[in-house]
Structure 1
Amino acid sequence: MTKTFDMEVFLSGVLTGSHSTRERHLRQAKDIQKAITERWARGNPWTWQQKHLNWILKHHLSKRAESTRYYYFLTICLIADRLGKEWNFEHKIANT
């Protein structure tokens, strides 16, 4: 039996803000983890590459509202920060 990677422990060092903000980031990080695990069988964020997180932004969230994609973008930036990576992600705000 494999144990699921604990996203809450992973992000605990970089999560700030109100309780609801932290809960939103955790919920979204778990959704990101699930999507990457289903597509690439990589449930551990330490094995993720920039291409995995770019896929989330460009394809997995493509039919979601702009505001939803923005909040996921913020969560992805937290994940990259926790990984110690200086990855740049494209996020275009509509109507600018």
Structure 2
Amino acid sequence: MSKQFDIELFLTGVLTGSHATQQRHVRQAKIIQAEITKRWQLETPWGWQRKHVAWFLDHRLGNRSEATRYYYLLTVRLLVSRLQKNMGIRIAN
């Protein structure tokens, strides 16, 4: 039995803001991870592609409020930031 990937530890280096904000990002990242894992069996963000995250945002959040989609988009940006930080990649906004 393998150990489950710790998304909270993964985000530690890029989380900022209040404790409540950090906990929201962690909670949302866990939801994103669970949905992508369930659909494509890709547990770690290193295996995700743009299409996987786009699927989540379009199909899982499509009927949610604008505010909810916005907050998930902020979490996705943190995930991307963490991946870029780890790989030494910089992408202009």
TM-score w.r.t. length of structure 2: 0.88
CA distance in 1, matches of 2:5, 2:44: 6
Contact map agreement 1:33 1:43 (CA 8 A) in 2: yes
CA distance in 2, matches of 1:3, 1:68: 30
Which runs of structure 2 are paired with 1:1-96 in the superposition (5 Å)? 1-84=1-84, 86=91
Question: CA-atom RMSD, angstroms?
Answer: 1.6
Runs (4+) of structure 1 exceeding 3 A deviation are: 85-88
Structure 1 residues not aligned, in runs of 5+: 89-96
Q: Which amino acid aligns with 1:39?
A: R
CA distance in 1, matches of 2:92, 2:54: 10
Q: Which amino acid aligns with 1:10?
A: F
Structure 2 residues not aligned, in runs of 5+: none
Q: CA deviation at 1:87?
A: 8.9
Q: Which amino acid aligns with 1:44?
A: T
Contact map agreement 1:50 1:87 (CA 8 A) in 2: no
Contact map agreement 1:36 1:52 (CA 8 A) in 2: yes
CA distance in 1, matches of 2:40, 2:30: 15
- Structure with the higher fraction of residues in helix conformation: 2
Q: Which amino acid aligns with 2:21?
A: T
Query: Identity of paired residues, percent?
Result: 57
Q: CA deviation at 1:2?
A: 2.1
